[in-house]
Amino acid sequence: MTLKGAAAITGIAEMKPAKRQEGLTGIAMAADIAIRCIADAGLTKDDVDGLVTELAFGNPTALIDTLNVHPNWAHGVHMMGASGATAVAAAAAAIHAGYANNVLCIVATQTQDDVPAGGPGLDPDYMQQFIAPYGPVAAANGYYALVAQRHKDIFGTSDEQRAKVAVDQRFNAQANPDAMFYGTPIELDDVLNSRMIADPLRILECVMPVMGAAAVMVQRADRAKDGPNKPAYVLGVGQHTDHDQIAHAQDMLTTPIAVSSKRAYEMAGVGPTDMNMLSLYDCYTITVIVSLEDAGFCEKGEGGAFVQSTSLRYDGDLPTNTHGGQLSFSQPGLAGGMSHVVESARQMMGRAGDRQVPVLDYCFVNG
Amino acid sequence: MAEYAKPVPTPNPVSAPFWESAKAHALKVQRCVPGQHWFFYPRLRCPFCHTQDIDWVEVSGKGRVYTYTVVYRPQSSEFEEDVPYVFAVVELEESPNLRMYTNVDDVSLDDIKSEMPVTIKYDDVTADTTLVKFVPA
């Protein structure tokens, strides 16, 4: 009855992120990635009968004329950083429901102007009345600084423990030539001495916002083996929403992952100890720490100690964000979340090159 | 007096009583009648029972710092002159559903901490607008 095993990721394509994607409109960027993804899956455009998009500049139909595809099912997602993962979940559900067989999922930014100044998804009326007058931090940095500060005050999570997340992700990026910070490894002190943005978060604990696009092809499981890549089967899915404004979270130190991960594990019939690799949304170091707690890898409050004593490197105890994470790969807007999906699929396909995780039965992906 | 250059809130019909009560230095927030549910930010309906039967009730002004950050890179340039300053979420003592973004003033950066008891400080930033801020209790 559930969609366990109904669909698989069979193709990937990702733009090398850049501060500016010169000479390209949003549609051109997205279309180029879409075409590369279709080819990567060993398909033609006429095979694409489903389309799920999160495009900063338009609806799914924005791509129809450029790509000349005619899906029987097109669907826009607007879940901010969770759009990439949600797109795959929606595609798998559509396949399971019989709406389509070969669903292209694509997430793309256009220009930095497309990302609202206060961070995406925030209610402008709430912002102007209850946030702006008090001097919030640039972009989303302040909200996660609030989480990091309370995590520090309540659980004693140290700056060094958070910094280790950044250091391990940066190590991973040294094996990813597409990462923005390829070629610039860092140590703990580099993080601890970097510029303070909003106490306690320093700049090396925050993502660099850039432009880009990424796509995956999700196909019906019984066709997945026909393609050129080893399929990455979608076995479990969970989603949960707790709040819009972080001030109104029931408990700011527990994320919706506490619910969504359980739902995904249950559907797949596995648990945290079965995971060989993790992809955890890392807009900031603190999000990796609370994600590990909420996804069952350690107790609530122990995430700092866990990352301190666990190697998150691609060759370590618990490979996490092997592409460098968004912290070291960069955050190409909404496509940042999709980078976790793409890297997970890349790894499952055995195409991760120098950063390949050797034994890979299960990968946990969080957007 | 120099003109206040920082953003001021534009109330709407639902939130107007909140801002008027701030201007009167006697803060009121919403509490529904049937369930006695306190809630903030101002809404048309109680988020717990969806009733529109809602009172505006004066609060004590006491609360605690739920969390905070010290700002070094503000969103708007008008705040650069104040850097570093405290941007916080304060929870009023009446209910955990009364949390608001604010500033904590008159506190040293070494002393500010989550769970610190605070009390309201009304900041009359213009003739028409009073902001709701807090100081250590």
pLDDT in tens, B60-102: 999 999 999 999 999 999 999 999 999 999 999 999 999 999 9
Q: Which of A351, A83, A42, A18 is nearest to A223 (CA)?
A: A42
Please state, in angstroms and rounded to a whole number, the distance separating the CA atoms of residues A317 and A311: 5
Chain A contact present for B56, CB below 8 A = no
Number of Cβ within 10 Å of residue B120's Cβ equals 22
- Which has the higher per-residue pLDDT, A120 or A137? A137
CB A214 within 8 Å of CB A335: yes
Would you call the peptide bond into A116 cis, given omega within 30 degrees of 0 as the criterion? no
pLDDT at residue B105, rounded to an integer = 98
Nearest alpha-carbon partner for A216 in A364, A345, A76: A345
Ordered alpha helix ranges (H), chain B: 16-23
pLDDT for the residue A116: 54
Q: What are the C-alpha distances in Å from A66 to residues A20, A29, A31, A164?
A: 22, 11, 7, 44
Nearest CA distance, B132 vs chain A (angstrom): 9
ipTM above 0.90, yes or no: yes
Q: Taking CB atoms and an 8 Å limit, are B114 and A153 in contact across chains? A: yes
Q: What is the mean pLDDT of residues A245-272?
A: 96
Note the pLDDT of residue A110: 74
What tens digit of pLDDT does each residue of B97-132 get? 999 999 999 999 999 999 999 999 999 999 999 999
pTM of the model: 0.96
CA distance B50 to B34: 10
Sign, CA dihedral A133-A139-A144-A145, equals negative
A117 has pLDDT over 60 = no
Given this model, what pLDDT does residue B136 score? Answer: 98
Q: What does the pLDDT read at residue A345?
A: 98
Residue A326 has pLDDT above 70, yes or no: yes
Please indicate if any CB of chain A lies within 8 Å of the CB of B41. yes
Q: What phi, psi does A121 have (nearest 5°)? A: 85, -5
Range of lowest pLDDT (A206-210, A291-295, B88-92): A206-210
CA-CA distance, A15 to A21, in Å (whole number)? Answer: 10
Asked if pLDDT for residue A68 goes beyond 70, the answer is: yes
Residue A114 reports pLDDT greater than 90: no
A196 touches chain B (CB under 8 A): yes
The pLDDT score that the predictor gives to residue A77 is 95
Among A99-103, A117-121, A333-337, where is mean pLDDT lowest? A117-121
In this predicted structure, what is the pLDDT of residue A111? 65
Q: Do B87 and A136 touch (CB under 8 A)?
A: yes
Q: Using CB atoms, pick whichever of B10, B72, B89 lies closest to residue A247.
A: B89
User: Is pLDDT above 60 for A118?
Assistant: no
Question: In the prediction, which pLDDT does A115 show?
Answer: 57
**Residue A241: left (phi > 0), alpha (psi -120 to 50), or beta?**
beta
State the first-to-last Cα distance of chain B, in angstroms, to the nearest integer: 29
**Interface with A, mutate which of B20, B65, B72 (most A CBs under 10 A):** B72
Q: Are A118 and A126 in contact (CB under 8 A)?
A: no
Distance CA A219, CA B128 (A): 59
